[in-house]
Copies of this chain bind each other. A is one copy, B any other.
Amino acid sequence: MPKIVDHRERRRSIATAACATVAEVGLERTTLAAVARRCALTTGAIAHYFPNKDALLDAALRESYRRQIERMDARVTDGASLETVMLESLPGSAESRELMQVWLAFWGRAIGDVATARAQRRVHALWLKRVTREIERAVASGRLPAAIDTSEEAEALIAQVRGLCIRALFEPANWPATRLAACLARYLDRVVVSADAASLPGRRRA
């Protein structure tokens, strides 16, 4: 019998190592040798699990997305508020910081690499669906007003979070979790308030 190896599991562990490497040194310096070193293998061994580097990087992107969703789900199970759930995708902890660095790295890669761009769109579609569902839950719980386009709000919310994410990654000292949370809360508050205002007679902007 051959050496007992869970192929699926091994693939995932290599992809995880790739994630960590990308987050640490960037895509440009992510070599197969570096990834192999991190999971105590050789480049040849990686070839058993991924036909080439692109396939490995693709798996790494998907893995980072999967872990991100997992983190969000864990919060949801806790019955947490929308803010708390979304905060999971901001670089507050070491893990989410790592995941967001991976996403950031792949955004740049998508320029001029159609395969990555496609993967990017696929992952975003899943992410959008997930965030939309959270917003729907928030509406259901009364946290957000009913008079909103949940899907459009999800896009806008994701945009806001991503933008903050970039800032937090580049200047972590200036963007502690508290500041991120405050910014996010303010954003959501305004969603509420503006919906209230729209439903009342009152002055509108010119």
Contact = CB atoms under 8 A, between A and B. Distances in A.
Contact of A163 (B25, B161, B194): B161
Interface string A69-103: 00000000000000000000000000000000100
Which of A101, A111, A143, A170 lies at the interface centre, i.e. has the most chain B CB atoms within 10 A of its CB?
Answer: A111
B196 A196 contact: no
A164 B160 CA distance: 8
Q: How large is the interface on A (under 10, 10 to 19, 20 to 34, 35 or more residues)?
A: 35 or more
A146 interface: no
Number of identical protomers: 4
B186 A121 contact: no
B166 A28 contact: no
A189 B160 contact: no
B108 A106 contact: yes
Given A111-B105, A160-B160, A205 B192 contact: yes
A163 B107 CA distance: 12
A171 interface: yes
A193 interface: yes
A197 B193 contact: yes
Interface of A: 22-29, 101, 104-113, 117, 120-121, 124, 143, 152, 155-156, 158-164, 166-167, 169-171, 183, 186-187, 189-194, 196-197, 202-203, 205
Minimum-distance CB pairs A-B, first 10: A159-B163, A108-B108, A26-B112, A25-B112, A26-B111, A162-B163, A190-B190, A163-B163, A190-B194, A193-B197
